[in-house]
Structure 1
Amino acid sequence: MNYLSRNGLRIAAVLLLVAAAGALVPALAEKPATTMEAAKPTTITAIPIDFDREHPERKEFGKLVWRGGLNLFGKTSYFGGFSALAIDPSGRSLLAISDAGVWLRATIEYDGRKIKGLSHAVLGPLLGKDGAPLRDELDRDTEGLALVSGTTQEGTAYVSFERHHAIEPYPFTADRFGPPRGALPLPAGAKGMNANQGIEAIAYMNTGKLKGTLVAFSERKTDKKGNLQGWLIGGPTPGGITLRRLGGFDITDAAPLPEGGLVVLERRFRYSEGVKMRIRRISANEIKRGALMLGEVLLEANDALNIDNMEAIAAHRTASGETVLTLMSDDNYSGLQRTLIMQFALPQPVRVGGR
């Protein structure tokens, strides 16, 4: 699905009018026509951005503090479409996957606390069960990434697939991602979804009372009351969960927090209003089998601010104890959209009763 930033809305409106008149209109976005055969280094150019373009001195947004952002350009057609990411505890190594079945690993460069670029970047193909790169476009639609063990350099991660609704454990090294080792049994409620209701967000809980649990959310599958559906898979208390749907937003990603909770990234798109994003924090105490969770809105933004189709989120804690959220956008391989990476500092959770 193509989600257009405000900068492209006027162009899109013209194209839609032409299409309505019966003219031929080329596709606005197209995934790479061929599959990567092996991992290859790539050069990424980065242009700094401000979150508030009109007031670049502004640093506080909602309950978050802006740490910096970049507009990224890769010198290959395989660069883009990033839908999920993981960041190592140092905040200096990034692993991301795209909805074209491509992974990206890179070193994050900083100027003090401000992100300034990506270096040592490598792109490569996700492998199928046969050990060959995923070739069918439907099979390559990877949406969720959750690091289970190891580091962003070598370890095991769960990967979720939207079209054929699967979660598969992927061992990976510095230059190889897969093949997967089987697949997780999906909860009954996660079966039978249509193509655009698939498991969009996964987060592996590696601390606290939910340690060993994979939290999974559908993009927009709802229960009878209109709340977004999710599941606790494995761990001590597996079962269904729901997240109260606010303002028609869909879920695009989720990430575990160092203290045991979650952050959830959400998106809303309408041609009449452009694209919006929201970040919610859910405390560990809210995440329970059968629970309807609300969470705390940390930030809600429309495209008057410098956002695009924000699809990926990760969290790490710095040596000073500050928790940093890293977000990336999915450009859908469209010339009307951008690949953005941005970081915010997260406030400490409010402690109740002095605990």
Structure 2
Amino acid sequence: MRFRPATKLILALALVCVPAAAGHPAGVHLHSARWQIDEPWFGGWSGIDISADGIEMTVLSDEGVLLRTRVTREDGRIAAIATGEPAHLKSAVGRRLKGPGADSEGLAIAGDGTIYVSFEGRTRVVRYDRPDSKAHVLPRPPAFREMPRNGSLESLAIDDRGRLYTMPEEWRDASGAIPVFRWDGREWSVPFTLPPRGRFVPVGADFGPDGRLYVLERAFNPPLGFQSRLRRWRIDGDRPHDEETLLETATGTHDNLEGVAIWRDDRGRLRATMVSDDNFFFLQRTELVEYRLPD
């Protein structure tokens, strides 16, 4: 979701006061790292993918920029980030994406390197064979056309069978549940829904190395700022179960976390790495936040 100028004014007031974290006993905050590059394309990071060893990191901005990086850690903390050249995503005819059609939000990378991106603005999911290749737009089910332009497909995840999962930020089904759309390579279906809890909305998703579905959620609480929550489920066929809340922060603990990647560190412990979308607003910050998670 992109924040409008009036909302940015509220954020400016919110960032004057940052409360301490409420935390949650399941997830342990390891560290937060400020990340800044003085380039006009840097910022707005809404999607993230991390390799199994936590070294190769790819981030996606909500202005159609894909950036591949290499992370150096010292004592388990991010010490440096080496970046490659940014790739500007293209349309199906090979033109650089601009305007509402460039509002890329969710990122999932298959085992063979194929890149999948979900978009707001014009709600769709797109396949890229390479960062610089033309877009291959997946078929759009009717529900995609009903979703709000600034509240649709923020989340995208891929399971170990190569199936894609996405869910809208704001649009709900007739019962008020969060519909999860799945692409099996031929068609979209809605195999299950997830229960909304409170004011949080889904903004990021990933399948962890444990096979569970992790969903990052955000609540905006003016005038104090953002809350973040991370939940997970085991998925058996078309049924989610064993819902767990791994963390729920106090308002203002972190910036606007929108992307999440789950991996195991060199000690075999589950770790969540999350990235914030600074909305290209000078009072916000790009932040990489890591939590240790229980098995």
Q: TM-score, normalised by structure 2?
A: 0.88
Q: Which has the higher contact order (CA 8 A, sep 6+)?
A: 2
Amino acid at match of 1:229: P
- Residue 221 of structure 1 aligns with which residue? 171
Q: CA deviation at 1:186?
A: 3.2
Indicate if the aligned counterparts of 2:127 and 2:137 stay in contact, CA closer than 8 A: yes
Shift in alpha-carbon separation, 1:304–1:272, aligned structure 2, 3 A: closer
> Do residues 85 (structure 1) and 48 (structure 2) align?
yes
Structure (1 or 2) with the larger CA radius of gyration: 1
Q: CA deviation at 1:312?
A: 0.4
Helix, strand or coil for the counterpart of 2:150?
helix
Q: CA deviation at 1:304?
A: 4.5
- Residue 179 of structure 1 aligns with which residue? 134
Cα distance in 2 for residues equivalent to 1:275 and 1:232: 29
> Do residues 112 (structure 1) and 75 (structure 2) align?
yes
Cα distance in 2 for residues equivalent to 1:345 and 1:128: 38
Amino acid at match of 2:248: E
Q: Residues 153-180 of structure 1: CA distance to partner in whole angstroms, max 9, x if unpaired?
A: xx211111111111111112xxx43212
Cα distance in 2 for residues equivalent to 1:159 and 1:62: 33
Cα distance in 1 for residues equivalent to 2:246 and 2:284: 25
Indicate if the aligned counterparts of 2:67 and 2:86 stay in contact, CA closer than 8 A: yes
Q: CA deviation at 1:76?
A: 0.4
Q: Residues 103-147 of structure 1: CA distance to partner in whole angstroms, max 9, x if unpaired?
A: 11111110121112212343221122222321x311110011111
Structure 2 counterparts to residues 1-355 of structure 1, below 5 A: 1-2=2-3, 8-9=12-13, 61-134=24-97, 136-150=98-112, 155-172=113-130, 176-180=131-135, 182-206=136-160, 211-234=161-184, 239-240=189-190, 241-285=192-236, 288=238, 291=239, 295-305=243-253, 307-348=254-295
Percent of residue pairs bearing the same amino acid type: 28
Amino acid at match of 1:116: A
Q: CA deviation at 1:321?
A: 1.9
- Residue 21 of structure 1 aligns with which residue? none
Shift in alpha-carbon separation, 1:94–1:170, aligned structure 2, 3 A: same
Alignment RMSD: 2.8
Helix, strand or coil for the counterpart of 2:246?
strand
Task: Report the more deviating stretch, 213-222 or 190-199.
Answer: 190-199
Uncovered stretches (5+) of structure 1, i.e. residues with no partner: 13-51, 349-355
Cα distance in 2 for residues equivalent to 1:121 and 1:89: 19
Cα distance in 2 for residues equivalent to 1:224 and 1:212: 29
Helix, strand or coil for the counterpart of 1:139?
helix
